[in-house]
Amino acid sequence: MSHVRSGDDEPRLVVQAWLGSRLLLALIFVWTLWSTHTGWREAAGNWDVAHFLRIARDGYAVTNEAAFFPGLPLLLRAAGAVGLDMTAAGIVISVIGSAFAAWAVWRLGGPRVGVVAAALWLFAPTAVFTVVPYTESLFAAFAFWAWVRAREGRWRWAALLAAGACSVRVSGVFLLVALGVLALTGRYEGDRRWPARLRSTAWLLVPASVPVAYATYLRITKGSWLAWYDAQADGWGRGLTWPWDSFAHTLRAIVPGAYADHPGWAWVFRGEVVSVAVGIAVTIACLVLKRWAEATWVGVQVLAFTTSYWFMSVNRAVLLWFPLWLMLGSFATRPGRTRRARIVVTIAGAVISVLLLFWWASRFFTGQWAS
């Protein structure tokens, strides 16, 4: 990493990291198929993938599946309508989405920092969710590029991209809040006078119409404006809980002996606790650096995850926290007397991340719970 150069080499290095990480995940996938004699659709179609595919085929026939926003199922349905295998289409969507997301991380980080940040994002422990029919890649591609365009002061494009993000998952609502903070604080290129800031904020009404439209659809079809929340609470235990109670519930899931018949579950919950701690640390760091919008983006998500019954799916949400990856990239590339030590620490962390990537991908492909 000490030899990362700026200029024309940077796009090539990001592409190489993307290819290398996707190849590594593909090898784990093939190894799983060979060692377990599992079909490729079964290995790639575990957990939430089954929900997305069923929604794509049958609509929201199962009440609790209202917890999933319609963006990805609509794309899968469109692929099926033209004769494509929907599972394969979902994989292609995620793989392509991961390329655009990594490209945006590079743009957000700028020279040197962006290259390392994008590479670390691509090799993240939970990177398996960026190659299977989940929403992480697609959402990150829309959300990260919305942030890029907003920082450039191109709010029309930011609004359209944010609308795409809002169609994919509820995190789009948190994105709108954070983009609103970015607009009002004027931390972007272009006119920063208050009339211009308010006009920038007004553009966010466009993507805000997407979750409103989905809520209206659920009101018409399910009879409740709160059908999404009810589905989350009934199907996944995401009812509103005080953070200290949520933490206590999670602690009971990570103690030795918890889930003795499923020993990997406790380790995944331990990862959730670590991920929450990372989110809190990133939020505090952004506040110290006066990056109000980035602090909002991560902090609101951490708040949402810590007010559910227990900490769940935070391991995957780390993929959405681009400020984390930019901070890691900055840490690895910052000049100074301790640079060599920081590079050693970064490389050691990257090795650990890749080892965890093997573990997480293997769990998912073999049908074990993986957050």
In the block, tokens 């990133």 appear at 282
Which pLDDT does position 2 carry in this prediction? Answer: 41
Cα–Cα distances (Å) from 308 to 243, 342, 363, in that order, read 8, 36, 24
Q: Which of 324, 325, 342 is nearest to 333 (CA)?
A: 342
> What is the end-to-end Cα distance of the chain in Å, rounded?
31
CB of 310 within 8 A of CB of 237?
Answer: yes
Token digits of residue 320: 């959405």
**Residue at 226: amino acid letter:** L
In the block, tokens 């991209």 appear at 161
- Average pLDDT per 10 consecutive residues for the chain, totaling 371 residues: 55 94 97 95 94 96 92 97 96 98 96 94 97 97 97 95 97 97 83 84 96 96 90 82 92 82 87 97 97 97 94 95 96 81 86 94 94 82
What is the Cα–Cα distance from 36 to 42, expressed in whole angstroms?
A: 11
CB of 89 within 8 A of CB of 76?
Answer: yes
Which pLDDT does position 328 carry in this prediction? Answer: 95
Token digits of residue 305: 């995850």
Which pLDDT does position 337 carry in this prediction? Answer: 67
Which pLDDT does position 333 carry in this prediction? Answer: 87
CA 18 to chain centre: 16
pTM of the predicted model, to two decimals?
0.94
**Residue at 344: amino acid letter:** V
What is the Cα–Cα distance from 282 to 150, expressed in whole angstroms?
A: 21
Which pLDDT does position 1 carry in this prediction? Answer: 42
Which pLDDT does position 7 carry in this prediction? Answer: 56
What is the Cα–Cα distance from 287 to 193, expressed in whole angstroms?
A: 23
User: What are the domain boundaries of the chain?
Assistant: 9-365
3-state secondary structure the chain: CCCCCCCCHHHHHHHHHHHHHHHHHHHHHHHHHHHHCCCHHHHHCCCHHHHHHHHHHHCCCCHHHHHCCCHHHHHHHHHHHCCCCHHHHHHHHHHHHHHHHHHHHHHHHCCCHHHHHHHHHHCCCCHHHHCCCCCHHHHHHHHHHHHHHHHCCCHHHHHHHHHHHHHHCCHHHHHHHHHHHHHHHCCCCCCCCHHHHHHHHHCCHHHHHHHHHHHHHHHHHHCCCCHHHHHHHHHHCCCCCCHHHHHHHHHHHHCCCCCCCCHHHHHHHHHHHHHHHHHHHHHHHHHHCCCHHHHHHHHHHHHHHCCCCCCCCHHHHHHHCHHHHHHHHHHHHCCCCCHHHHHHHHHHHHHHHHHHHHHHHHHHHCCCCCC
